[in-house]
Amino acid sequence: MHLRWPRVACVALVLAVPAAVSSCSIGQAQRCAGQCGPPFKLDVVFRHGTSVSLAGVALRRCARQATVVTVGVPYRSADGLLHATVGTREVGGPRNRPLLSCLARSPPVLQAVWPD
């Protein structure tokens, strides 16, 4: 009986450590919203019927903004819409307003969001 208690405590500790480590990583993922460092991926979605060349024009026009790091090639996704990924130095924030405003003014752009 005397030796059994340390074994029970050892088993409880072994089971508790992975749970504690798991909680730490979950908390960390939520803190950075799924994107933990630059370049942050901004998903740009274009209106139905937009051509690849027209999407490219809109992307090049807005790529001059200071927070833009990379501009991806437009691709058609399973939903049938044209998408492109723009890499930025930060997620949201006032420094990205010019980029978001430029995309919003572009007629072929439907939306631009940072996915989680």
| 72 and 16 in a common domain | no
pLDDT, tens digit (0-9, with 9 covering 90-100), for 14-60: 444 444 444 444 444 456 657 787 889 999 999 999 999 999 999 99
Asked if residue 74 has a cis previous peptide bond (ω within 30° of 0), the answer is no
| 96 and 70 in a common domain | yes
| 11 and 55 in a common domain | no
The domain that contains 62 carries what CATH number?
A: 3.30.70.60
pLDDT, tens digit (0-9, with 9 covering 90-100), for 59-80: 999 999 999 999 999 999 998 8
Phi, psi for 54 (deg, rounded to 5):
-65, -40
| 104 and 48 in a common domain | yes
pTM of the full structure: 0.69
